[in-house]
Structure 1
Amino acid sequence: MKNLFLFLTALSFSFTVWSQEIESKSIDEVIWTNNYKEALKKAKKERKPLLVYFKGSDWCGPCKKLDRELFSSEKFKNFSKENFVLYEADIPRNQDLVEKEKLDMNKKLADKYKVTTYPTLIFVNHKQKVIAYKKGLLLTEYYYPFFDSIINKKRG
């Protein structure tokens, strides 16, 4: 009985340590602004372009790959923190995955910017003027020259 108690205590401790590791990793995730209007205000205040990422989180295979290979990378996390404000415009088939108000906004934005291909990345300034866009999935390393060109446009 004593051995069972020790085993369960050790197991409990292991799960506690493991869950703390997961929580600390989530702190370093890319920060997507949850509200489009707030994202525009933040872009104006910080004088950064706003990246609007159109995706279908539950049906778009290329979007899932982009999330995994680009947006989850340390390189992007550091790069975006310095250079962009981020807004994720998710339009899933299972509409319960996104709050109704946000889903309505995402659909309006897709109409406004004529998004028909997923994933689509659109960069806008705080006045919602399109600076640049990319449709479809590219190799991860091809995004950074594109990002650099946007930063250089902003400076120029």
Structure 2
Amino acid sequence: MKRVYTVVSILFFSLVTFAQSGTRFMDNRPWQEVLQRAQRENKLIFVDCYTSWCGPCKQLATEIFPQEKMGEYLNKRFVNAKYDVEKGEGLAVGKQYEKEIKVFPTMLILTAQGEVIHKVSGCRPADELIAAIEEGLQGNTIYNLRKEYDRGNREWSFIQKFLHLLETASERKEYEKVAREYASRFPIDSLLNKDIWDIVGKFVIQTPFSPEFRFAVEHIDDLDSKGLVNRYQLESKLSEEMGFAVNSIFLVSNQKHSEDSLAKLQEKIDYLRTLLKKPVKGFPESLAELSIVESKIKNDTNQLYERLCVLVECGFANRDLFLSDMLKYLARNLNNEARLKRCINIAEYMKEISSKSSWVQEGFDEVITLANQKLESKK
């Protein structure tokens, strides 16, 4: 019994010591108290902005901030505060700094008057977090570098530093804007340069109608041979974005169009078709779907039916929503009894092999109901 008591005492003492050696926070205290203490102690303020549902926030709180090295670094330099910005005292803090808090967790470095001078986002190991905070204390903040960028600095070393800080602060939109602006100064084949690809590659493959996207599709072999991409991952991403593009055409096809809008839509279809003929994994499926959408836009119901049957027979039927909507269109517009029955058979088949989610099943059930109603009306 005495031995058990001793072990428990040692564990308790270790936990208490660990907690005391880590970061000491003013936990959800009134904001004015934090400001007053910082002014009294002539310190900067470190604020951990978190939410109760944020996993990385909990990891920071339980694994990073309690570490002795974090305590030694933060406690000496800052008045440390933390707020759940979705309740209590944190609501006002969250509202006051809402332009800075884009993701959780976000850590703000403030003057004793509450002016933001630096921020770091996301959970990271203690050494990396300390380095990111220290970088701001040395004057390398997005606020200072933004001013320098606006004054026209476009040196590569500066751009790299600015982009690094924007990424650290989770300023994704500004990162993309700066990266794109920098890359646009060079010919499009500069995408084969590692430095350029590293800063803009993840963005240029998200816009199928851009010349950069087309370049990536047409130069997969070059990007792969230079070691700039993982070919499998790049093809998957290109295919995913092309699928979204085809789906956007499909959604637009449900609207009424003037001759001018139809002509513009056809231009987009022709452009996508050209790209989708490239040997990229997943493109044949999107090309088949695009051909069906084109038939719908032309109100050619029989051609749509024939193409849809081929799509299913060839095993290209992998988007439940697309298929159920096309089958509904056919059920409403076909008059041929044999073809209506074929639509019912396809819907029943798709119910068996598709997701069992209620909205997916309900979509195919609606096809069956519509087609049966049409058949009943013919008797």
How many residues of Structure 1 are paired with residues of Structure 2 in the alignment? 135
Residue deviations 1:27-48, cap 9 Å, x none? 2231102323222112112222
Q: Which amino acid aligns with 2:17?
A: S
Deviation at 1:122, TM superposition (A): 1.0
What is the distance in 2 between the residues matched to 1:130 and 1:87? 14
5+ unaligned residues in a row in structure 2: which ranges?
Answer: 140-379
Name the structure 2 match of 1:152: 138
Name the structure 2 match of 1:84: 78
Secondary structure at the counterpart of residue 86 of structure 1: strand
Identify which of 43, 48, 52 aligns with 2:43: 48
Name the structure 1 match of 2:26: 33
What is the distance in 2 between the residues matched to 1:15 and 1:70? 24
Residue deviations 1:6-63, cap 9 Å, x none? xx3433343334333333333223110232322211211222210111112x421111
Deviation at 1:109, TM superposition (A): 0.9
What is the distance in 2 between the residues matched to 1:26 and 1:143? 19
In the alignment, structure 1 residue 74 sits paired with structure 2 residue 74: no
Larger fraction in strand: 1
Name the structure 2 match of 1:132: 118
Structure ranking higher on relative contact order (CA contacts 8 Å, 6+ apart): 1
Larger radius of gyration: 2
What is the distance in 2 between the residues matched to 1:22 and 1:50? 26
What is the distance in 1 between the residues matched to 2:61 and 2:82? 11
Q: Is this contact kept in 1: 2:70–2:126, CA < 8 A?
A: no
Name the structure 1 match of 2:218: none
The percentage of counterpart residues that share the same residue type is 19
Q: Which amino acid aligns with 2:53?
A: W
Name the structure 2 match of 1:120: 106
Secondary structure at the counterpart of residue 111 of structure 1: helix
What is the distance in 1 between the residues matched to 2:18 and 2:120? 29
Q: Is this contact kept in 1: 2:21–2:66, CA < 8 A?
A: no
Q: Is this contact kept in 2: 1:51–1:122, CA < 8 A?
A: yes
What is the distance in 2 between the residues matched to 1:140 and 1:10? 35
Q: Aligned pair in 2 of structure 1 residues 113, 91: CA closer, same or farther (>3 Å)? A: closer
Deviation at 1:124, TM superposition (A): 1.2
Larger fraction in helix: 2
RMSD of aligned Cα (Å): 2.3
Q: Is this contact kept in 2: 1:40–1:126, CA < 8 A?
A: yes
What is the distance in 2 between the residues matched to 1:13 and 1:140? 32
Name the structure 2 match of 1:107: 91
Q: Aligned pair in 2 of structure 1 residues 15, 139: CA closer, same or farther (>3 Å)? A: closer
Deviation at 1:89, TM superposition (A): 0.7
Q: Is this contact kept in 2: 1:131–1:150, CA < 8 A?
A: yes
What is the distance in 2 between the residues matched to 1:72 and 1:150? 22
Q: Which amino acid aligns with 1:40?
A: L
What is the distance in 2 between the residues matched to 1:118 and 1:50? 18
Q: Aligned pair in 2 of structure 1 residues 20, 76: CA closer, same or farther (>3 Å)? A: closer
5+ unaligned residues in a row in structure 1: which ranges?
Answer: 1-7, 93-102
Residue deviations 1:91-136, cap 9 Å, x none? 47xxxxxxxxxx4220111111113411001111121111111233
Q: Aligned pair in 2 of structure 1 residues 11, 136: CA closer, same or farther (>3 Å)? A: closer
Q: Aligned pair in 2 of structure 1 residues 85, 30: CA closer, same or farther (>3 Å)? A: same
Secondary structure at the counterpart of residue 88 of structure 2: helix
Which of 142-151 and 115-124 deviates more? 142-151
Name the structure 1 match of 2:4: 11
